[in-house]
Structure formats: C-alpha cells, structure tokens
C-alpha cells in the first residue's frame, strides 16, 4: 500500500529526484486566479532564470539545484498546503510569495516545519514583526516603504489627499501607514494634510460614483491615491480620466499598485496613463550596477518584457538563499538560518542582508535597503525605467 502511494505521489507531482543528487529549492507564487497571476508568473520566470544561471556556474555544494514552484492561487489555505507539499518533497528552503494574507499562512508552516523562507514580494509589516526564526524578507515592509512615499506627499505640499483602497492586507496596510504619517505630520508649508479614504472590494468595476464625489468635493482633492492592484487599479485610472478628474492641473493620480509598472498598464488605460504617478523600488537612476544591466537585458532577451521590482526580488531571493547554503556548507535549516543572518549578497537591488534588530518589530530579518522611488509617466507607452523621477529629490540629475 505504502509503496503504491509513493509511486502515485511521485507520478502526481511529476517529480522523482533523490536528495543525494540535487539540492531542492521551493518557490511559492500565485499562478492562477483569484491570485495576482501576472506578478506570480513574472516571479516564477525570475526564479527559474536564477537557478539556471547558478547551475550553469556549477550549482552549490557541488550539486545541481532543482526548483519547484507551487501555485498558491492567492488563497491562504492553498499557500499553507503548497508549503507543506514543498516540505514533503524535501526542499531545503523556500522563496517567493506575493500576497501578504497568503504569506501569513505560509510563515506558520515555515515555522512548524523548520523551512528557511525568504519572502520576496509580500509587504505586510506583520510578516517579519512576528519575528519567526525561519522567516526573512527582501520585499520592503509597508512601514519601511510608504513612510517614504508619505514624505514625498508632504514635500510636494499636497493638502487634500483622497484614497481608494482595496480591502486586502496590502491595501489596508498601505492605507494605515499613510493615515498615520499624514495625520501626524504637516506638509512642507506647515499645513495639516487632510487624508480621507474609501475602502472597496476588489471585484468592484465601476468606481465612477466615488470619483464623481471626489470631483464634487470643495476644495477639490489635489492628490488621489489609487491603492489598488490589477484590474481595479487600471479601471480607477481610466474612469478618473474619463470624468475629467485626474490627472489634471488640479488633481494628481498616484497609482500605487505594482500593476502600473507592467506593459498591460498601457494596453489597458491607453492615453489616460499619461502623467500618472507611480512608485517602484528600482529605477536606473539609483545607479545601474553591472548586475542590474545584466539582469534586465537577460530577462528581456529571454522573456520579451522589462522585469519589475517583483522579478528582481524573486531573483535576488534565490541567489541569497543559495549563497547562505554555500556559506553554511550544509542544508540543515538551522545552519542556513545562521548563514542568512550573516549573508551579504550583492544582488540586483543592492547589497542584500537581513537585519537582526528587533525594534521596530517588523525590522527583524528584514532587508532594510529597499528604496522608494516616485516616478511619473511623461509619454504614452513609456517604460517605467524611462519615466520621470520625482523622488527622492536628492537623486535628481
């Protein structure tokens, strides 16, 4: 019975490798709906690219690396199931994830099954604030990143900021940071910033009633924070432009979600995307290291699109994990964790290392080096790497 099961399981998983020949690394990402499959696929491509390169250069500890990427569908229980599947296969560590709610379920499995886990692109503070021994993060914590975005809002001197927020871990997390930062500190002119927000389901397709309401507000809002990802983010940009609300001379449009960096943004919003403001963790002006140049050109050549922040994080996650394994000279989870606490990897996004400070709580095992860059599209169809840099001002050429 048992033998039969093992054969069935091996067939079902399409994988039969013995631990002696390979080092097995797991990946988790949303590859199908209701998850953000666009981002998930991009992360998967980047992970595969990193593994192929490492293997071409001789693998790690003299062995080849095998990567298994599991689909989490953006659902917590699927994520925890995926982590368990990976643990059963005998992976030595896991990288990836995009949705914070899913990552929250996954870190519990990482803890329970002693799996070193580098979170690539889930931002909720709580993920590192739980201070689990096996959990590390390259993606910025919401607090780390959006404090800087709030600095920009205050530095420009916006006074009436409105936000449409998707009711997800990520959306509400961003909203929480902005509410706190803008509510407690004045803008550059010493004025109080008025911050109001509306929360909505991700399934909403007609935002026009609320946008009309913003248009009727007196004084008219000077900045709209579009805290949505995917379809909703595109629809808000489109519908705000259609009713003549933003981007206009009176009101700016800030598309906060990562989807604003994808080529699909232009396919979907067309001319309405002109002068939309967005953010990224990476911009060539931060300094184009050879690593970045190489990564971007390789990724473009291989997959025909410009990689975003998420791809770079996933790519760096794999390299960082492998480097830690190399340092530890072992695949024992505790040795890998000890190595991860000391590792310094010169990656695409910068030198990756993990803080061991416990204050603020989310800083634990967090890469503190993430930059927040605010950019604005100045031409229709522009690549985000060519968009106008607005912040940090100090970097302006």
Q: How far is residue 61's CA from residue 154's CA, in Å, rounded to a whole number?
A: 50
DSSP bridge partners of 255: 226, 278
Contacts of 93 (CB under 8 A, 6+ apart): 25, 26, 115, 116, 117, 118, 321, 325, 333, 336
Which region, judged by CB under 8 A, interacts with other proteins, from 9-17, 61-69, 139-147, 344-352?
9-17
Question: Is residue 386 involved in binding other proteins (CB under 8 A)?
Answer: no
Question: Cα separations (Å) of 381 from 154, 238, 267, 289, 369?
Answer: 29, 15, 8, 25, 30
Question: What residues from 113 to 132 belong to the interface with other proteins (CB under 8 A)?
Answer: 113, 124
108 burial level (CB within 10 Å; 0-12, 13-18, 19+): middle
Choosing from 23, 25, 28, 38, the residue that interacts with other proteins (CB under 8 A) is 38
By CB under 8 A, is residue 16 in contact with other proteins?
A: no
Task: Compute, in degrees rounded to 10, the torsion defined by CA atoms 222, 227, 230, 233.
Answer: -20
Binders of other proteins in range 157-186 (CB under 8 A)? 164, 167-169, 172-173
Residue 196 or 378: which CB sits closer to other proteins? 196
Closest contact distance (angstroms) between CB of 125 and other proteins is 11
Contact assessment for residue 118 and residue 92, using Cβ atoms and an 8 Å cutoff: no
Residue 250 binding other proteins, by CB under 8 A = no
When asked if residue 271 is in the footprint of other proteins (CB under 8 A), the reply is: yes
Whether residue 247 is preceded by a cis peptide bond, meaning omega within 30 degrees of 0, is: yes
For other proteins, the binding residues in 320-349 under the rule CB under 8 A are none
Residue 268 within binding range of other proteins, rule CB under 8 A: yes
Minimum CB–partner distance for residue 57 and other proteins (Å): 30
Options 55, 231, 355, 382; binder of other proteins; rule CB under 8 A: 231
Nearer to other proteins, 85 or 371 (CB): 85
> 63 with 328: CB under 8 angstroms?
no
Residues 202-221 that bind other proteins (CB under 8 A): 202-210, 212-213, 215-216
Of 51-110, binders to other proteins (CB under 8 A) are 71, 75-77, 80-81, 84-85, 87-88, 100-101, 104-105, 108-109
Q: Is 358 helix (H, G, I), strand (E, B) or coil?
A: coil
Q: How far is the CB of 330 from other proteins (least distance, A)?
A: 22
């Amino acid at each position: 019975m048992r033998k039969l099961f093992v054969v069935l399981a091996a067939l079902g998983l399409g994988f039969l490798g013995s631990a002696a020949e390979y080092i097995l690394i797991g990946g988790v990402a949303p590859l199908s709906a209701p998850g953000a499959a666009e981002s998930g696929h991009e992360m998967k491509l980047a992970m595969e690219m990193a593994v192929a390169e490492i293997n071409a250069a001789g693998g790690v500890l003299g062995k080849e690396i095998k990567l298994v990427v599991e689909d989490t569908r953006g659902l917590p229980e699927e994520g925890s199931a995926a982590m368990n599947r990976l643990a059963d296969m005998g992976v030595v560590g896991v990288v990836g994830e995009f949705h914070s709610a899913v990552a929250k379920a996954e870190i519990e499995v990482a803890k329970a099954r002693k799996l070193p886990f580098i979170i690539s692109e889930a931002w909720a503070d709580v993920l590192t604030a739980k201070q689990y021994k096996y959990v590390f993060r390259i993606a910025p914590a919401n607090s780390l990143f959006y404090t800087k975005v709030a600095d920009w809002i205050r530095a420009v001197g916006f006074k009436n900021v409105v936000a449409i927020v998707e009711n997800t871990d990520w959306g509400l997390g961003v909203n929480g940071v902005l509410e706190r930062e803008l509510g407690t500190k004045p803008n550059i002119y010493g004025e109080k910033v008025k911050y109001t927000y509306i929360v909505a389901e991700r399934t909403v397709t007609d935002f026009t009633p609320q946008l009309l309401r913003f248009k009727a507000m007196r004084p008219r809002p000077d900045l709209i924070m579009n805290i949505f990802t995917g379809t909703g983010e595109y629809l808000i940009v489109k519908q705000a432009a259609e009713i003549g609300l933003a981007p206009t001379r009176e009101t700016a449009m800030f598309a906060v979600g990562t989807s604003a960096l994808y080529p699909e943004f232009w396919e979907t919003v067309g001319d309405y995307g002109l002068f939309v403001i967005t953010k990224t963790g990476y911009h060539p002006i931060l300094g184009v290291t050879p690593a970045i140049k190489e990564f971007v050109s390789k990724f473009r050549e291989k997959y025909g699109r410009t990689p975003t922040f998420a791809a770079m994080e996933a790519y760096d996650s794999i390299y960082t994990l492998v480097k830690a394994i190399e340092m530890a000279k072992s695949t024992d989870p505790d040795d890998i964790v000890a190595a991860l606490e000391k590792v310094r990897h010169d990656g695409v996004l910068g030198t990756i290392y993990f803080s061991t400070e416990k204050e603020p709580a989310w800083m634990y095992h967090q890469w503190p080096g993430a930059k927040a860059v605010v950019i604005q599209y100045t031409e229709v169809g522009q690549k985000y790497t060519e968009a106008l840099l607005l912040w940090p001002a100090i970097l302006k050429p």
